[in-house]
Amino acid sequence: MAETRILSGNVVSDAVYTALESRIQFLKESSVVPGLAAVIVGENPASQVYVRNKTRKFSELQLHSETIKLPHETTQAVLLDRIVALNNDPLYHGILVQLPLPDHINRALIIDSIAVHKDVDGFHPENLGRLTAGRPRYVPCTPKGIMRILQHYDIDPSGKHAVVLGRSNIVGRPMSILLSQKQKFSNATTTICHSRTADLRALAKQADILIAALGVPEFVDQSFIKEGVTIIDVGINRVDDGSEKGYKLVGDVAFEAVQGIAGSITPVPGGVGPMTIAMLVENTVEAAENSLG
């Protein structure tokens, strides 16, 4: 059995940060420090970790970031006011509102309120529409980071069958668009599977590139894959393990079970996660550059 190659998001993200150094330097020489405002509503522990990891990277790179923590009870009107203030604050080139939001808040309304030129998550319908039209502004960070992993390891999707498990606006939907674009290092034939897909396993088995973004721990095992497939595992799931911390992180793929069958795979942690953060930094640097005119 051939060994399964590990696609390291840590390695690829380091290359991204190196490539950003001169751009950040140029901005600082122009008295612009790329700035991110991260808004988090409520106490979702996973969201808190994600936001902390994002802002920690901004600090490490000596970029500006601020986390705006709002209690679960925050009203939609108060949240909207905060976003409008951030839209008008020149210190912040990028704004992200961590998802999910509490149920009493209309997510679409909040996303629509983010200034399109500060929407570094790429979730605003204008930015998703631009991506769909082949004229992207900000590309959602996780799918953008996945394309960079494929590029780095020279896994060209052209002519391949890419199967995306999950149809969220954050990952699955934009992922399928990026993979099927008519341009270099894209041109895949793309299938999106979701909770209502009939015989998801049979479709997944056809994949040359399998993107698992369902949020179900270790859902994809050896029975879902064909030999040599490239697997991108987007899942970051907490499962109880009786350890001191109380849980461990696992992906949507049963990592051990696919070893020796898959051609390559992104690990969890250390795969897609670091790339999401790197693309957020890159999008924020781009937003800061755009602010220079």
Which of the residues are catalytic? 54, 98, 121
Binding to ligand GUN, residues 115-154 (CB under 6 A): 121, 141-142
**65 forms part of the interface with ligand GUN (CB under 6 A):** no
Q: Give the x-and-dash track for 188-227 against ligand GUN (CB under 6 A).
A: ----------------------------------------
**252 forms part of the interface with ligand GUN (CB under 6 A):** no
Q: Give the x-and-dash track for 273-292 against ligand GUN (CB under 6 A).
A: ---x----------------
State phi, psi for 253 to the nearest 5 degrees.
-115, 140
Using the minimum distance from each CB to ligand GUN, give the nearer residue, 99 or 268: 99
**234 forms part of the interface with ligand GUN (CB under 6 A):** no
Q: Give the x-and-dash track for 2-41 against ligand GUN (CB under 6 A).
A: ----------------------------------------
Using the minimum distance from each CB to ligand GUN, give the nearer residue, 98 or 237: 98
**162 forms part of the interface with ligand GUN (CB under 6 A):** no
Q: Give the nearest distance from C-beta 65 to ligand GUN in angstroms.
A: 14
- Out of 170, 175, 231, 253, point to the residue binding ligand GUN (CB under 6 A): 170
For the chain, the three-class secondary structure string (H helix, E strand, C coil) is: CCCCEECCHHHHHHHHHHHHHHHHHHHHHCCCCCEEEEEEECCCHHHHHHHHHHHHHHHHCCCEEEEEEECCCCCHHHHHHHHHHHHCCCCCCEEEECCCCCCCCCHHHHHHHCCHHHCCCCCCHHHHHHHHCCCCCCCCHHHHHHHHHHHHCCCCCCCCEEEEECCCCCCHHHHHHHHHCCCCCCCCEEEEECCCCCCHHHHHHCCCEEEECCCCCCCECHHHCCCCCEEEECCCEEEECCCCCCEEEECCECCHHHCCCCCEECCCCCCHHHHHHHHHHHHHHHHHHHHHC
Q: Give the nearest distance from C-beta 177 to ligand GUN in angstroms.
A: 16
**CB under 6 A: which stretch of 19-27, 94-102, 187-195, 259-267 binds ligand GUN?**
94-102
Using the minimum distance from each CB to ligand GUN, give the nearer residue, 7 or 170: 170
CB of 267 closer than 8 Å to CB of 6? yes
Q: Give the nearest distance from C-beta 100 to ligand GUN in angstroms.
A: 7
Rounded CA separation 211/190 (Å): 11
Site residues, ligand GUN (CB under 6 A): 96-99, 121, 141-142, 170, 276
